[in-house]
Amino acid sequence: MIHTIRWGSNCIYIIDQRRLPQKKEWLVCRSLQDVITAVREMAIRGAPAIGVAAAMGLALGSHSIKTEKYGTFRRRFLEMAQQMKLARPTAANLRWAVERMIRIVERMHDNNVKEIKEAIRKESQIILEKDIEINLKIGQNGLGLIPDGATILTHCNAGALATGGYGTALGVIRAAYEAGKNIHVIVDETRPLLQGVRLTAFELMEENIPVTVIVDSAAGYLMRKKMIDLVITGADRIALNGDMANKIGSYQLAVIAKENKIPFYVAAPISTFDPDLKNGDLIPIEEREPKEVISFAGHLIGPEGVDAFNPAFDITPAKYISAIITEKGVIKPPYRRSIRNLFDTEDYSGT
């Protein structure tokens, strides 16, 4: 299985996902700023993976704070945490990981700075390892939703590359394949940055899971032709009422799936939920550079200077989501109640 991020001795290694699948290159991050740039420019992407990167980035950054005084350390650390949070606005996991690191600093006010730095670094590794465990659980919990012989449509990349490892939506697909189910995966290309054709198709081929790539606009045709049995995606943020933000194009897939009576499932860890937001309209949607839209694989295809609009995510209202698969089990509508229950039983702080 691919691991997209890991610690070096005084640095972090990240697989540069902008180069995949043609080149597997490790990007070396030696400072918090390197990590922020890697997240912003999407050398590493996917909600849980950028959460892990944020935690590791802060651990790296904390080592550059040269003071023995707790107050000075805390102030500098909080500034860094704020910068890290702003790298990408939509995924809940990034903010969740940053807040988890802040809580360690707040809690250790009686410890010396060296001990705090060690604890922060240890915590970032725990976040990485726990994320893989969580994805394995999501995979097992989702198994029952995948019939033997199913053709599954997935969007973007919610695989090992988008997480600490194994994946969320792709984790469920992996688990079904590993359980011996005869499945076929349809992957849409996922314009503008092509995470589907570049990353998801690559991950599936590495594991010999049957895969066919389509253009984004072919999904409706396939659904109407009964060539898809279910749709499964990851999520970047899920509001209290079950509305979810995911890669642009998810909403239209969910609407077409409902129109064709095809279940639309979402697989996500609890760190992707944001119970403070009543509904999806409150989720901040990242807008990326217009040039991504008028280029294809880095080549300009539109007329120079043409206007373009590039929202990176959209909101799928809860009414289109058949179930959400988490590490705590599969939750179904009405989501407000089931998501509240999830947080009543979960130590959300993770600390």
| Residues binding ligand MRU (CB under 6 A) | 45-48, 91, 156, 158, 162-163, 168, 195, 233-236, 246-247, 312
Minimum separation from the CB atom of position 316 to ligand MRU (A): 11
CB closer to ligand MRU, 85 vs 103: 85
State the nearest-atom distance from the C-beta of 162 to ligand MRU, in Å: 4
Nearby residues of 65 by Cβ (< 8 Å), 6 or more positions away: 72, 73, 76, 77, 113
230-246 core/surface letters (b: 16 or more CB in 10 A; e: else): bbbbbbbbbbbbbbbbb
Least Å distance, CB 272 to ligand MRU, is: 7
Nearest residue to ligand MRU, by Cβ distance, number only: 234
The catalytic residue among 216, 236, 243, 274 is 236
Question: What is the rounded distance in angstroms from the CA atom of residue 163 to the CA atom of residue 19?
Answer: 18
Q: Is 236 a catalytic residue?
A: yes
Decide whether 120 or 186 has the Cβ nearer to ligand MRU. Answer: 186
Closer CB to ligand MRU, residue 89 or residue 111? Answer: 89
Do 77 and 32 form a contact (C-beta atoms < 8 A)? no
Residue written as tokens 């990590």? Answer: 35
Cα→Cα distances 214→197, 257, 261, 301, Å:
8, 16, 21, 20
Closest CA to 33 of 101, 83, 82: 83
Instruction: Let me know the angle formed at the C-alpha of 236 by 243 and 270, rounded to the nearest 5 degrees.
Output: 80
Q: Tokens 């295809």 correspond to what residue?
A: 301
Output the smallest distance, CB 195 to ligand MRU, in A. Answer: 5
Q: What are phi and psi of 139, to 5 degrees?
A: -60, -50
Residue with tokens 């995510």: 313
Least distance from ligand MRU to the Cβ atom of residue 286, Å: 8
Query: Which is it for the CA torsion 195, 200, 202, 203, positive or negative?
Result: positive
Count of CB atoms within 10 A of residue 178's CB? Answer: 13
The minimum distance between CB 190 and ligand MRU, in angstroms, equals 8
- Pick 45 or 117: Cβ nearer ligand MRU: 45
Is residue 342 within 8 A of residue 331, CB to CB? The reply is yes
Please identify every residue annotated as catalytic. 236
